[in-house]
Amino acid sequence: MRARVYTAEQVEDHGIVTVRLTDALRGIEVAIAPSIGNRAYEILAGGSNILYFPHEQPAALEADCRLSGIPFLAPWANRMPGGFFANGKHYPANPDSGALRLDANGIPIHGLLTASPYWQVVDIGSSASSAHVTSRLQFWKHAALAANWPLAHEYEMTYRLSEGVIEVTVTITNLCADPMPIAVGFHPYFQLPHVPLESATARIPVRSRIEMDDKLIATGATTAVHFPNEIALKDHRFDMGFTDLIRGDDGRAVFSIGADGKKIEVAFGPRYTVAIVYAPPGQNYICFEPMSAPTNGINLAHQGKYAGLQAISCGECWQESFWIRPEGFTAPAQDPKSP
């Protein structure tokens, strides 16, 4: 009998129930922890993890206030000071809820779901062409979440592995009577295993940089930028937001990092209109972050400083994907002397 190329299974990793998607033909495995933010923490390509994950086991994610792997940032991404405006009403932040993450300036950051335990697997399976898992989070059921975003809605997230590509799709359904603003995103951390970032080059297909104040809050202004096709990371480090993304005929904007014949491509679907690029000094990772709005975009729209805010009408859905393609990763050659 011919061996199956794709498999999807629930397994335990040091006591945490995880989902593992496998492409045996191409040597790619994806590990997701649904009970910890539905976060992917491993993408093994040729036996090495292309995601930055500084832990020995996924349980460490529960207590770690730092981010790694592929955190989902919702119902808002990045910083949002003082709550938010929607449909002409102000909804203040509620720091007593215990659900907020705060940055060094005390500003709520990265939404409410980066390590949420509320995701439930609703579909898992494989076929001759792919493996997938879909999980759901019913946001409206949880008081601590609603205390900081009192707009009823639900999420579904699907990880799909097919032909060497990992697709991450999120679907948001608005269950409240009024339109709901969309300012979600992901914060994936990528690394080239065994390769220092300083020797790598990046592709950043953008035309405009988002101006930020001294607390890293977007001001509503942008500045034109032009990057070459290959940017040497030994000369550049990033903590910047960009818009006016350069897209192909399929509507996708493709970011990448590469060195020594290895490459990671990250493609944003058209509803991800903003990219945050984060590659801080002293760290060996880079983040290409797909965002549906700039930092504090909901409030900038209320102030008349941002015209691109997306929203979902009552009962409607918003859906978008991004794609990760590792190339050139092979398993280390086995020592012929080893058993």
Q: Provide the H-helix boundaries in the chain.
A: 143-146, 297-302
Residue 324 corresponds to which amino acid?
A: I
Tokens of 239: 């903590």
**pLDDT tens digit sequence for 286-330:** 999 999 999 999 999 999 999 999 999 999 999 999 999 999 998
Judged by DSSP in three states, 1 sits in: coil
How far is Cα 45 from Cα 31, in angstroms, rounded to an integer? 12
pLDDT of residue 338: 38
pLDDT of residue 96: 86
Q: Determine contact, residues 258/264, Cβ cutoff 8 Å.
A: yes
Domain ranges (residues) in the chain: 77-108+122-182+194-327
Mapped to the 3 state alphabet, what secondary structure does 259-273 carry? ECCEEEEEEECCCCC
**pLDDT tens digit sequence for 77-96:** 999 998 999 999 999 999 88
Residue-by-residue DSSP string for 41-69: EEEEETTEE-B---SSSGGGGGT--S--S
pLDDT of residue 64: 78
Share of the chain above pLDDT 90, in %: 88
Residue 22 corresponds to which amino acid?
A: T
Q: Which helix (H) or strand (E) holds 321?
A: strand 317-327
**pLDDT tens digit sequence for 227-261:** 999 999 998 889 999 999 999 999 999 999 999 99
Domain range 77-108+122-182+194-327, CATH architecture:
Distorted Sandwich (2.70)
Average pLDDT over residues 118-131: 97
